[in-house]
Amino acid sequence: MKKWRQSLRLLPLFLAALALSGCGKEGVSALKPEGEVAKEQASLMLISLLIMIVVVLVVGFLFTYAMIKYRKRPGQEDYIPKQVEGNTKLELTWTIIPIILLCILAVPTISKTFALSDNNTSKKSDVLKIKVTGHQFWWEFEYPDQKITTAQDLYIPVGKKVEFDITSKDLIHAFWVPALGGKQDANPGQTNHLWLKADKEGTYKGRCAELCGSSHALMYFNVKAVSDKEFKHWVKDMKAGMKSAPDKDRVLTASAKQGEEVFKNNCMSCHAVGNKGGQIGPNLTNFADRDNIGGFEKHTKSEVKKWIKDPESIKPGAKMPKFGKKLTDDQINALADYLFTLSVKQ
């Protein structure tokens, strides 16, 4: 075949090099790993990719050579090629070499798989435990040792091993933070384990990776890796926030006060603020400190009002009922004002 097809064979190599040199957005992409687990996984990908590129090149070369050299040329109509049955030596070669390559690949495969699954060797004081629960279509995070419950924004300290116990309240989800490491399924009635570590401060995008219904594509969360000091501070603030009932210690404007009433009458059967309220929806104790509405929309009052009026316009299939007709615009404005006072930052 033509020459350019030969160069086409090299295209995957070129693109692969390009990709591994850093593709995608920081904090989102698995190709820009920011934690120990993700880095180990990226190096595994690289090792396997290199072996595989060798395979593709060898096959590609033989293939291209055969196609060009042995193509039919004009005037060869009567030529009958030699009918070769096989060749034991050659056949053994291409059986044994792949076996050797796979044995080489099997070593890091086995060791890394065990290393990354290893959960219980560290001392208890060295790790942070977090219980993750998947819901249609949001994430709940519980810090059992700190007695904190929150949702959507996950705070972790940089440089510390974080062990996740992952489960689901309804159906199968999968917990994935590509920049920090691989995913783990959240199965109903079962707890899975995963550990991650962030090397750098920053916000990492997390997402659901197992089809879980209409808004599977919108089940984002944020992982906020902060310094150890900042994390301790946050824990203290959250603990205070969790203990106090929502009406205490807050100076509210008139509108926010009205919003608080609306909240008590309409929202508290599902949402908790502090230690009061239902557990069906996300805990809103630090709502005002979060990055996004619903995990991905801008964190503004107008977005939250849109959400309250019709959650399904933002997340199809969301469980929260529409409040657009039940509440007046005034009440919704007041509610939004109130929600934006829910901060634990001091």
Rounded distance between C-alpha atoms, residue 270 and residue 283, angstroms: 9
Where in 289-318 is the site for another protein (CB under 8 A)?
296, 316-317
Binding positions for another protein, 65-104, rule CB under 8 A: 66-67, 70-72, 76, 79-87, 90-91, 94-95, 98-99, 102
The enclosing H or E element of 207 equals strand 202-208
Phi, psi (degrees; rounded to nearest 5) at 179: -75, -20
**Measured between alpha carbons, how far is 252 from 249 in angstroms, rounded to an integer?**
10
**Of 174 and 267, which has the nearer Cβ to another protein?**
174
- Does 286 contact another protein by CB under 8 A? no
Nearer CB in complex with another protein: 136/149: 136
Q: Which residue type does 312 have?
A: E
CB 51 within 8 A of CB 105: yes
Burial bucket for residue 72 (CB in 10 Å: 0-12, 13-18, 19+): exposed
Shortest CB 83 distance to another protein, Å: 5
Rounded to whole angstroms, how far apart are CA atoms 320 and 137? 11
Among 10, 17, 110, 280, binds another protein (CB under 8 A): 110
CB 265 within 8 A of CB 338: no
Q: Tokens standing for 280?
A: 């069906």
**CB of 292: closest distance to another protein in angstroms?**
10
**202 lies in the binding site for another protein (CB under 8 A):** no
Range in contact with another protein (rule: CB under 8 A) among 115-123, 255-263, 298-306, 333-341? 115-123
Minimum CB distance to another protein, residue 39 (Å): 11
**Contact residue for another protein among 39, 159, 172, 288 (CB under 8 A):** 172
- Give the nearest distance from C-beta 90 to another protein in angstroms: 7
Rule CB under 8 A: is residue 176 a binding residue for another protein? yes
- Min. distance of Cβ 321 from another protein in angstroms? 17
Distance CA 135, CA 121 (A): 30
Q: Among 19, 107, 245, 280, indicate the residue that binds another protein (CB under 8 A).
A: 19
User: Which range in 59-67, 265-273, 323-331, 332-340 contacts another protein by CB under 8 A?
Assistant: 59-67
Give bridge partners of residue 131 from the DSSP assignment: 142, 165
Restricting to residues 130-159, which ones interact with another protein according to CB under 8 A?
A: 136
**115 near another protein, rule: CB under 8 A:** yes
User: Which of residues 6, 12, 129, 257 is near another protein by CB under 8 A?
Assistant: 12
Two tokens, residue 153: 């924004």
Options 24, 144, 278, 321; binder of another protein; rule CB under 8 A: 24
Contact assessment for residue 330 and residue 305, using Cβ atoms and an 8 Å cutoff:
no
d(CA 310, CA 321): 7
Amino acid 340 reads: F
Query: Tokens for 10?
Result: 């090299």
Contact set for another protein, span 203-242 (CB under 8 A) = 205, 207-218, 220
Contact between 117 and another protein by CB under 8 A: the answer reads yes
* Contact stretch for another protein (CB under 8 A) within 26-34, 263-271, 327-335, 338-346: 26-34
Closest by CA position to 172, among listed 222, 208, 218, 125: 208
